[in-house]
Each structure stands twice: as structure tokens, then as C-alpha cells.
Amino acid sequence: MSGLNFIIRREEERDYGDVFNIIERAFKGVDQSDHREQFLVEKLRKSSAFIPELSLVACSRGSVVGHILFTKIHVSGHELLALAPLSVSPDYQGMGVGGALIRQGHKAAAALGYRGAVVMGHEGYYPKFGYGPAVRYKIFPPFECPAENFMCIELVEDGLKGIEGVVEYAPEFGITG
């Protein structure tokens, strides 16, 4: 862990430009990306799946260095969350910013009453923050994806108990499968 000083707070309108740039730069070299995550976030902010309290930024010395977004999803009628996307400025990666954004996001989500979240991502990264294969809960993605990369977390005890099915993302994700 580096000694980087940063705070995490709710994203505000004045951050939109910085967040756009950070997402674009963070995903630039990522093979699994369509490199359009910054546009997805712009669309999600205007959608009914958006929860302002769950769009967070990390700031160091007054500059935005990371962003995380959780939006509403449904699984067999239950409202849960999807973590997507998570972006840390390339200059600030590996310093604990991504992990802090995830933990703070989980805390804020649980305080709002959300019971669980799903994420599609690296199986070496998200388990550090409590995620495990969603298939164990019989929660499935609406697209083809290796089982180990589609994960979920219970934000409260037994949060996903009795919730099974295929995830319905906001239409803005453009998932057709």
C-alpha cells in the first residue's frame, strides 16, 4: 500500500468531465473493453437505474483519480446492484484507490438497503473485496461469460438468499443476449 492520501465522496456534476477522461484512460489498454465505458456512464446518469449516492469519486489533492458506479439491476423481481464500471487513473493504479472505492460503495449501498451486487470482471481482483462466483447463488449473466468472471457479493447477511435467476441490466448497457 502506498502512502497516497485520498478521499472518497459522491460524484458531482462538476466532476463529469474528469470522470469521462479517467474512464477513457483507465480502459485504454484493457483487452476485454469496448473502450466505450465513458459513454455508458454518461447514459447511465440519465437512466432510472442511476443512484446518485452510488456514483463515487476518489480525489487526491483536489483532483479526481478514480470513479465507481453501481446501478440498479433486477433478478427475478428483486432490485440489486451491478458494479460497472470501476476506473482508476493509470497514474494512480496499484495504490489502493480501486479497493477503497469498492468498499465505500458497498457501505453506501448497504446503508441504502441494497442486499447484493454483481460484477463482471477479473477473478483475481474482486474476490479480494468479498465477491465470489455468482453461479453459486444460481445468479446468471444475460450474456456468455466464463463463470469465474461473473461474481456477486451479499451486502448484508443472507442478502441473496432466495434470489435466483438471470440478471436484467438497465437497457443503457445495450445487452441483447
Q: Which residue bears the cell 485520498?
A: 6
- Of the pair 50, 92, the CB lying nearest ligand COA is at 92
Task: Based on the shown chain and the rule CB under 6 A, indicate whether residue 86 belongs to the binding site for ligand COA.
Answer: yes
Nearest distance from C-beta of residue 91 to ligand COA, angstroms: 11
Applying CB under 6 A, among 7, 12, 30, 112 the residue interacting with ligand COA is 30
**CA atoms of 33 and 13, how far apart (whole Å):** 25
Ordered DSSP codes for 89-134: -GGGTTSSHHHHHHHHHHHHHHHTT--EEEEES-TTTGGGGT-EEG
Applying CB under 6 A, among 7, 17, 34, 94 the residue interacting with ligand COA is 94
Binding characters for ligand COA, 133-172, by CB under 6 A (x = yes): ----------------------------------------
**CA atoms of 49 and 135, how far apart (whole Å):** 24
Nearest distance from C-beta of residue 151 to ligand COA, angstroms: 10
**CA atoms of 82 and 136, how far apart (whole Å):** 17
Applying CB under 6 A, among 24, 121, 130, 165 the residue interacting with ligand COA is 121
